[in-house]
Amino acid sequence: MNPVLAIPSTREASFQDFDAIDALVRSNGLKPRNKSHWVRMWQGNPAYHQGFPIGWVMEDEDTGKLTGTISNIPLAYTLQGRSILAATGRGWAVEPSVRAFAPLLFDEYINQPVDLLLSTTVNGLAEASHTICEQTRVPVGDWTKAAFRVTNYAGFAGSALRIKGLPSLLRMPAAAALWVKDQVTGAALPKAPANVAVQRSADFSELFHGFWNELVALKWNKLLAVRSRAALRWHFGPAIDAGAVRVMSVVEAGRMLGYCVLLRCDHESSGLLRYRIADAQWLVNDPRIQQALVHAAVETAIEDGVDVIETVGLGAPTTTAFERAFAYRRKLPAWSYFYHSNDPAMMEALSAPSVWEPSTFDGDSSI
């Protein structure tokens, strides 16, 4: 007979649990964080307050050993003039021997007293659990696909050959063939519009104060993640420190009209160097502004020697301008973006696609 497994206990995580949580995350093949980056997901987070659970752990009652973990990050949103406290789960990891009890952690997460739950980095293993637990797919965009543009043919070809296990000596012929193909069939890069100035930087300027005030007034009826300068600098803080962020801003007469953020998201196993569109917003629906940002983003990727630039969640309002210039598509392992609220009125409001403007700024997609 198989031994009966004892049900492990669960409790709120503490900052003192970092070493055990880090070991669990690593053993489950998830990307680890150093302690300072892990702690700053709460300390310094404008949405965090004392008493908010930083996550939950599962432990063996006999030994006290941590056997499971899920982190819980607070995020500030707005909708129709109301402040929304959201939470996003991260690093759900459980030892194989007690994986049958993994839902105990998810149950703690989904039953916490917040306005909204956002899960934006769901992988193939977790998709079924989110569906079973009545998490809802975001109703705007296709979150199983990404669009990308090659910006360094030699680097891209080399990574593709490594993935396929083919000889590296084919790199330059493959790069040349791909370049020719793109000249014939690839989507053309939009020309930089005349009289539209784009400023490039590696941080968020003081202009983001005024921009956010205008944006939240303009999109008061959208579920919108707070994009104050403080929120942006917290969100991208470690990446800014690592030089992994590029900010493109359209500025006219001292007023910011739109911006996009590039975030380094390299594919380490293949050596692919990649920028992802982590966020994009504009105050006026002017194609010239969008074209200027797309052009500046692609040019920056080329100048920085990055192999590809991509956007995730096809068909979302702030990604379509980039999709038109990104000729290639790739399939993602799972539908990555789910949401849930324990408030029936909130769920009813969020059932309308018009309320949504989802992006990879949401949840933990770019933290």
* pLDDT for res 69: 95
> 2 pLDDT exceeds 70?
no
> 347 pLDDT exceeds 50?
yes
Provide the CB-side half-sphere exposure for 342 (13 A, CA). Answer: 12
Residues 236-259 have a mean pLDDT of: 96
SS3 assignment, position 306: coil
- Decide which of 190 and 204 is more confident: 204
SS3 assignment, position 52: coil
3-state secondary structure 147-180: EEEECCHHHHHHHHHHHHCCCHHHHHHHHHHHHH
Report pLDDT digits (tens) over 63-93: 889 999 999 999 999 999 999 999 999 989 9
* pLDDT for res 192: 86
Average pLDDT, the chain: 93
* pLDDT for res 330: 95
Non-local (6+) Cβ contacts of 281 within 8 A are: 211, 215, 227, 258, 259, 260, 318
Q: Angle 110-115-116 (CA atoms, 0-180°, nearest 5)? A: 55
Read off the amino acid at residue 295. Answer: H
Within its chain, how far is the Cα of 52 from the centroid?
A: 22
Q: 252 forms bridges with which residues in the sheet?
A: 255
> 1 pLDDT exceeds 90?
no
Which range is most confident: 12-16, 57-61, 95-99, 186-190? 12-16
Q: How, if at all, do strands 245-252 and 255-264 pair?
A: antiparallel
3-state secondary structure 115-144: CEEEECCCCHHHHHHHHHCCCEECCCCEEE
> In the structure, what pLDDT confidence band is assigned to residue 4 with cuts at 50, 70 and 90?
low
Contact by Cβ (8 Å): 190, 348 = no
What gap in Å lies between CA 234 and CA 342, rounded to an integer? Answer: 27
* pLDDT for res 229: 96
> 3 pLDDT exceeds 60?
no
Report pLDDT digits (tens) over 110-159: 999 999 999 999 887 777 777 767 789 999 999 999 999 999 999 999 99
> In the structure, what pLDDT confidence band is assigned to residue 194 with cuts at 50, 70 and 90?
confident
Non-local (6+) Cβ contacts of 298 within 8 A are: 149, 151, 189, 309, 325
Report pLDDT digits (tens) over 272-312: 999 999 999 999 989 999 999 999 999 999 999 999 999 99
Place of tokens 């941080």: 203
> 222 pLDDT exceeds 80?
yes
Q: 11 forms bridges with which residues in the sheet?
A: 57
* pLDDT for res 134: 78
What domains lie within the chain, and their CATH numbers? 9-138 (3.40.630.30), 144-202+243-335 (3.40.630)
* pLDDT for res 148: 97
Reading the block at residue 206, the tokens are: 């003081």
Integer Rg of the chain from CA: 22
Element (H, E) at 225: strand 224-225
Read off the amino acid at residue 213. Answer: N
> 339 pLDDT exceeds 90?
yes
Non-local (6+) Cβ contacts of 188 within 8 A are: 325
Q: How, if at all, do strands 224-225 and 328-331 pair?
A: unpaired
Residues 183-202 have a mean pLDDT of: 87
Residues in the chain: 367
Percentage of the chain surpassing pLDDT 90?
Answer: 81
